[in-house]
Amino acid sequence: MRSDTGDLLQGTLGVMILKALVIGPAHGYAIARWVEQTTDDVLQIEEGSLYPALRRLEDRGWVRSEWGLSENNRRARFYTLTARGRAHLKTEAAVWLRYAGAVTRVLRAAPAIA
């Protein structure tokens, strides 16, 4: 992310990548574009952390990769969500949403910020 990164955001990056792959297999660039488009360019994944993050996900067995042809016939590495990754995503997403919801409630509670 363009703002400060931290452990929380590192985990967040992982969750977002997994969510991006729910649709189907995608290469690294497609994942980055999806996040940008879905958040209307609010979040732009720092590409330096994208690929290391993908590797970590693969090490944990949540994602697997294979080489294939991109839409313009170029050789690219495609990442796919595994069953274990899908399960992990479900739990993590629930946790994050509950957390985010709680923070939102705190920040929206009276009194309003001036």
Partner 1 sequence: MAALRRRGDPRAARRARDRLTPVRDDFGAPRWRRYLRFWGPDVDADVDDELQFHLDMRARELEARGLSSDDARRAAALRFGDAGRIGAELREHDHHRNRYLHRRDMLSDLWQDFRLAARGLQRTPGFAIVVIATLALCIGANSAIFSVVNAVLLRPLPFRDPGALVRVYQTYQGERSAFSGPNFVDLVKSTHTLASAAAFDNETFNVVGNGDPVRVQGALASASFFDVLGAQPAVGRTFNADENDPGKTHVVVLSHALWQQRFGSNRAAIGGSLDLDGTPYTIIGVMPASFDYPRGMSVWMPLVYDTSFTVASRGAVYLSAVARLAPGVSEQQAATEVAIIGKRLHDADLDHNAKMGITAVSMREAMVGNVRKPLVILLGAVVFVLLIACANIANLLLARSSTRHTEIAVRSALGAARGRLLRQLLTESVLLSLAGGALGLLLATWGVRLLVVLQPRGIPRLDTVSIDGAVMAWTALVAVATGIIFGIAPALQLSRGGDELAQSLRAGGRGMLPSMGGRQLRRTLIVSEIALALVLLTCAGLMMRSFVRLQSVDPGFQPDHRLALEIAIPDATYGTNEKVVAFYDDLLGRLAALPGARGVGAISMLPLTDNAWGFSFKVDGRPPVRLGDQQHFETRAVSPDLYRVLGIPVKRGRALLPTDRDGAPPVAVINEAAAHRYFPSEDPIGKRVVLGFRVRDTTHAAGTIVGIVGDVHGFGLDQDAPPEIDFPYAQLPLSNMAIVMRTDASAPALAAAAKRELNAIDPALPMADVRSLSGLVSDSISQPRFYMMLLGLFAAIALLLAAIGVAGMMSFAVAQRTREIGIRIALGANRGGVVRLVLHEAMRLAVIGVVIGGLVAVALSRAMASLLFGVGVRDPATFSVAAIVLAGVAFAATLLPARRAASVDPATALRTD
| Least distance in angstroms from the C-beta of 81 to partner 1 | 18
- Cα 68 to Cα 25, 44, 83, 100, distances in angstroms: 10, 25, 21, 37
**Exposed e or buried b for every residue in 2-39, given b needs 16+ CB within 10 A?**
eeeeeeeeeebbbbbbbbbbeeeebbbebbbebbeeee
Q: Are 18 and 63 in contact (CB under 8 A)?
A: yes
> Shortest distance, CB of residue 39 to partner 1, whole angstroms?
16
Q: Tell me how far, at minimum, the Cβ of 95 lies from partner 1, in Å.
A: 27
The smaller minimum CB distance to partner 1, of residues 75 and 108, is found at 75
Q: Which residue, 47 or 99, has its beta carbon nearer to partner 1?
A: 47
The footprint of partner 1 (CB under 8 A) covers 27-29, 32-33, 46-48, 51-52, 55, 59, 67, 70, 72-77
- Least distance (Å) from partner 1 to the CB of residue 83? 20
